[in-house]
Amino acid sequence: MRIVIAEDSTILRQGLAELLTLRGHEVAAAVKDGESLRAAVREHRPDVSVVDVRMPPTHTDEGLRAAIALRDELPGCAILLFSQYVETKYAAQLLADRAGGVGYLLKDRVAEVADFLDALHRVSAGQTVLDPEVVSQLFSATRRTSALSELTAREREVLGLMAEGRSNSAIAAGLFLSAGSVEKYVTSIFGKLGLPQSEGDNRRVLAVLRYLDS
């Protein structure tokens, strides 16, 4: 296979390159950031690219966003995300694209070289390979978003004002509702988001976090 590696850690980047070369594969390029990844894939048109999620300059989700941009530019190019982290915000977008192989493995959970190589072959062949932990976290993120979709328009409006830091009385004044009506909406929101009353958790804060996460 012809492979491009995008990994900001010099040791891991060189280690992967040596490992794959020893196993008879061609490492066309080994780069350390998203822009270099895009340039390398355009130039070499690899069978598969191994991409870290967090790379310079902000070390958040540059690799993942570069992978999505590549799939838009070169439909069907195979991407294997190989990271310590599960980034749910854009991962679902990448995985929803059915054109070409895609995978997401967690570095700490790949115990055998053979498993990694098998994943590379499968992704290059157009298949999808996902670590079970990635699936679990994506499912949890989707479930949270689905719960928000169950809120009525008025409940979403109330939750939006909660996210702005408004008290129930301020929400009531802003929406021309009674204090009792706002309390009912807030209680309904907690129920639909699965936030039971607890001494250790501030349900108002948790509800707002769900809203912002969506």
Closest CA to 101 of 72, 122, 131: 122
**Using CA atoms, how far apart are residues 61 and 105, in angstroms rounded to an integer?**
15
**Cβ–Cβ < 8 Å for 25, 49:** no
Structure tokens, 27: 């490492």
Q: Is the pLDDT of residue 157 over 70?
A: yes
Q: Which amino acid is at 29?
A: A
Arch. (CATH architecture) of 2-132: 3-Layer(aba) Sandwich (3.40)
Does residue 166 or residue 47 have the better pLDDT?
Answer: 47
**Rounded to an integer, what distance in angstroms lies between the CA atom of residue 10 and that of residue 48?**
20
Decide whether 2-132 matches 142-213 in CATH topology: no
Mean of pLDDT values over 87-95? 77
Residue 147 has pLDDT above 80, yes or no: no
CATH 2.60.120.330 fits 142-213, yes or no: no
Tell me the whole-structure pTM to 2 decimals.
0.67
The ranges assigned to domains in the chain are 2-132, 142-213
